[in-house]
């Protein structure tokens, strides 16, 4: 998987780390949105995973009930898809202590191409908006 995640990183970086993420609703239909996502090291397993930050109540509810996500990155006609188990880590999903959660949200944002002029304000916004990092451990990676 390490080499495949390198390929994911390569495609993601060329298109500002934009990806379509798909989750499954209770009725089995798919919810898809666009996010910025990147590759980070999982803070517990230390495996490389695909991660993004979300605040969407529907997406978080879907992932809590059915913890599986699919992300597709593309640049031009080249695309690569990652499917896998999804884990939420944020103030409403306290897997980590608050300080490690704060740093994880920053690391996830940076890995997805983000930067911030005021990290203290970023931290406050993440807490206020109840944002969570979504970590997807790859089970399958495929591309054209």
The Cα–Cα gap between 96 and 102 comes to 9
Nearest 5°: phi and psi at 98? -55, -40
- Count of domains in the chain? 1
Domain that holds residue 91: 2-143
- The contacts of residue 61 (CB under 8 Å, 6+ apart) are none
- The candidate with the shortest Cα–Cα distance to 92, out of 59, 133, 135, 130, is 130
* Each residue's pLDDT tens digit, 89-112: 999 998 999 999 999 999 999 999
Q: What is the pLDDT of residue 4?
A: 83
pLDDT digit string (tens) for 25-71?
999 999 999 999 999 999 999 999 999 999 988 999 999 999 999 99
Q: What is the largest CA-CA distance in the chain?
A: 42
In 3-state terms, the chain is what percent helix, strand and coil (to 5)? 30, 40, 25
2 has pLDDT over 80 = no
CATH number for the domain that contains residue 38: 2.30.110.10
């Amino acid at each position: 998987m390490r080499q495949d995640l390198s390929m994911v990183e390569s495609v993601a970086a060329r298109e500002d780390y934009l990806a379509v993420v798909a989750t499954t609703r209770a009725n089995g239909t798919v919810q898809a949105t666009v996010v910025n996502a990147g590759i980070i090291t999982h803070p517990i397993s230390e495996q490389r995973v695909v991660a993004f930050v979300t605040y969407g109540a529907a997406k978080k509810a879907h992932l809590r009930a059915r913890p599986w996500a699919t992300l597709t990155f593309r640049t031009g006609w080249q695309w690569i898809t990652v499917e896998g188990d999804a884990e939420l880590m944020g103030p409403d999903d306290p897997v980590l202590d608050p300080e490690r959660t704060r740093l994880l949200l920053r690391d996830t944002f940076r890995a997805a191409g983000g930067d911030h002029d005021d990290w203290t304000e970023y931290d406050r916004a993440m807490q206020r908006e109840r944002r969570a990092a979504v970590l997807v451990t790859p089970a399958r990676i495929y591309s054209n």
